[in-house]
Amino acid sequence: MSDDVRMTLAEVRALARSKLRAAGLAGDHADAVAETMVAGERDGCASHGIYRLLVAVKSLKARVVVPDATPVVSRPRPALVRVDGGGGFAQLAFERGLHPLVEATRTHGIAALALTNVVHFAALWPEVEAIATRGLAALAFTPSHAWVAPAGGTKPVFGTNPIAFGWPRPGAHPFVFDFATSAVARGEIELHRRAGKAVPDDWGYDAAGQSTTDAAAVLDGAMRTFGGHKGSALAAMVELLAGPLIGEMTSADSIAADDGRGGSPMGGELILAIDPAGFLGDAVAEHMVRAEAMFAAIEEQGARLPSARRYAARAVSEADGVMIPRALYDDITTLGDAA
C-alpha cells in the first residue's frame, strides 16, 4: 500500500475550500486562500501546498484571523494603492488590489501596492507571477514572526522575510524567483519535524543558542539567515520596507501581538510594479529581446533558471495530479472532527 495519496488539482482545491469554510472562513476568502495552496502543490512546493491548511485552520481557531474581513482599497497617491485587509488573510486583499496596481503602473510607469492589516502564511511567487503575466516587472516583500537570528547572534529578531521578483517574458512563463532570507523556509523545518528527520546543522539554533540538527529544537529556538551577513542585511531591508515604511508591524511586533496563540504572521506586504514600456516606449520589444538573450546564455550552458523546476512540475501535476503524504492527508481530512 502506498504511503501517498494521489489527488487531482481540482480535488486539492475542493478539499482546501471545504476545510477552510468548515473552519469558519468566508467563501471569498476560502476561494482565494485555497488557490495559493493549489499553486504550491501544482508547482511541487510541498511546504507551501496543502500542508498550509493545518497552518491556516490553526490561525482561524486561535482567532488570529478575521474570517469575514472586507478588504478596503484606497489611493493615497495616484501611483500608490493601499488595501486594508481588515485582519483577514492576505490573499483576498491582494486580489482586490491587483487591478488598481496594474492600472496605476500602466498609467505612471511604476506603482506600489501596500497590503496592511493582513495575516500572511504563503509564498510570494504567485503574486509576482500574476503581475508578470500582465506584462509588468514586480518585486514583493513581507516580514513574518520573529523566528530568525541576525548574523552573529542567536536570538530571533527577523522573520523569514521572503523577497520575490517577477519578469514578463513574451511567449513564455515569466521569470520568477522567491526566496526566504532565512536559510530555509520555516515550513520546510516543520515538514522535517513531522517526518522525524534531522535538519542540517546550519539551519538554526536551539533555545540555548547552540547549533542543532533537531527540527523541533530549531522551531523552539532560532533559524539562521542564508549567506550570513548578506541574508541578515536583506532581512533587515524587508523589515523596513514592509514594516515602518507602510505603517505596519515588524516581525518582533507580529510575534508579540500573537501572544502565544501560534497563529500566522500579522502585518503587511509591499509590492512594487514597473512597466517596461514606461521607461522604454517604442524600444521595449528590442530590450526584451536582450533580456531573452541573457536567459538563453544561462540555459545553454546547462544552468537552470529560477522557476524552471516549478514550471516543469506544473506541467506534470496538471496532467497527472499530485501525491500527498498519507499522514498529512489523514491529518487534513480529520481537521475539525473533534470540534
Report the distance separating Cα 281 and Cα 217, nearest Å: 54
CA atoms within 13 A on the CB side of 110: 4
Q: Which of 35, 188, 248, 269 is catalytic?
A: 188
Whether 192 is a known active-site residue: answer no
Whether 188 is a known active-site residue: answer yes
Q: Which of 47, 173, 211, 292 is catalytic?
A: 47
Structure-block grid coordinates of residue 216: 523541533
Q: Which of 29, 48, 120, 145 is catalytic?
A: 48
CB atoms within 10 A of CB 233: 14
Which residues, including other chains, have CB under 8 Å from residue 279's CB and lie 6 or more apart? Answer: 109
Whether 48 is a known active-site residue: answer yes
2 by Cβ neighbours in 10 Å (0-12 / 13-18 / 19+) ranks as: exposed
Structure-block grid coordinates of residue 308: 524552471
Identify which of 182, 89, 97 has the alpha carbon closest to the alpha carbon of residue 143: 182
Catalytic residues: 47-48, 188
